[in-house]
């Protein structure tokens, strides 16, 4: 119980929030590492997943790649890449991609592949090109599943981004690794609490976005004000 009380006092003291090593700065670093990883994961995984989901070719490859990436030990891979490339941002980014890419790849593929075939056939019968079918029909209908993949990827990346501190970078993992090195378990608990709260907040925001994106609900439509005249 004293450990949790000490962590509470640490978090509520304003002196621990400012400065280059304060919670505010570490939080910004953690968000930057997470955002960069998710952005690169989106650029890699989403186009591949959309194309394979649309063409229905290469599904077995997606499953194999996603499972292989999930099986890789993140910290072990980080150590290996550091030995090859040295310290810096690139090694943790590569290691974090192994947790960011699989959910996005699976979400993009399954979202497009499970769109109602009748809707797809009807769009082709209207004379749409394959690109138009993908972008105007399949992607809007697959959006909730795709965003669910983004939600899962973001949650996993934020939780795993603590490994950046292992290679002498910042982020909230700094509290965990420094605390372990100094036998300061209050600091370890502070880092764990901050990561958990950040992950839950982002997960809640993305869950709301997924709820808004469900097609046919009209949740994203802009209401027209009463008395407004159409021209």
Q: What is the mean pLDDT of the chain?
A: 87
Radius of gyration of the chain (CA): 22
Asked if residue 134 lies in contact with residue 46, where contact means CB atoms within 8 angstroms, the answer is no
Residue 18 backbone phi and psi in degrees, to 5: -100, 170
Rounded to whole angstroms, the Cα distance separating 43 from 47 reads 7
Q: What angle do CA 143, 45, 90 make, to 5 degrees?
A: 135
**Dihedral, CA atoms, 175, 178, 20, 159, nearest 10 degrees?**
-30
Nearest Cα to Cα of residue 98 among 69, 77, 66: 69
Neighbouring C-beta atoms of residue 182, cutoff 10 Å: 10
Res 228: pLDDT:
44
For the stretch 110-127, pLDDT in tens is: 899 888 888 888 988 888
pLDDT tens-digit profile of 10-52? 898 888 898 888 999 999 999 999 999 999 999 999 999 999 9
Q: Report the predicted TM-score, pTM, of the whole model to 2 decimal places.
A: 0.87
pLDDT, mean of residues 133-147? 90
CA atoms of 166 and 177, how far apart (whole Å): 7
CATH number of 2-213: 1.10.3720.10
């Amino acid at each position: 119980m004293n450990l949790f009380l000490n962590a509470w006092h640490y978090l509520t003291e304003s002196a621990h929030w400012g400065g280059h090593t304060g919670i505010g700065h570490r939080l910004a670093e953690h968000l930057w590492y997470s955002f960069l990883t998710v952005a690169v994961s989106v650029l890699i995984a989403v186009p591949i997943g959309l194309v394979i989901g649309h063409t229905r070719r290469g599904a077995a490859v997606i499953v194999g790649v996603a499972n292989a990436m999930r099986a890789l030990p993140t910290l072990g891979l980080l150590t290996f890449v550091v030995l090859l490339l040295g310290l810096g941002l690139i090694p943790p980014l590569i290691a974090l991609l192994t947790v960011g890419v699989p959910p996005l790849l699976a979400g993009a593929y399954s979202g497009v592949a499970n769109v109602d075939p009748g809707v797809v056939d009807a769009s082709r019968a209207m004379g749409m090109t394959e690109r138009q079918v993908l972008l105007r029909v399949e992607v809007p209908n697959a959006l909730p599943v795709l965003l669910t993949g983004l939600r899962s990827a973001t949650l996993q990346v934020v939780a795993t981004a603590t490994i950046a501190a292992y290679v002498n970078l910042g982020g909230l993992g700094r509290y965990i690794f420094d605390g372990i090195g100094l036998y300061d378990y209050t600091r370890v608990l502070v880092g764990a609490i901050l990561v958990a709260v950040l992950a839950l907040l982002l997960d809640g925001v993305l869950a709301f976005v997924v709820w808004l994106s469900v097609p046919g609900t009209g949740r994203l439509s802009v209401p027209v004000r009463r008395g407004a005249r159409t021209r």
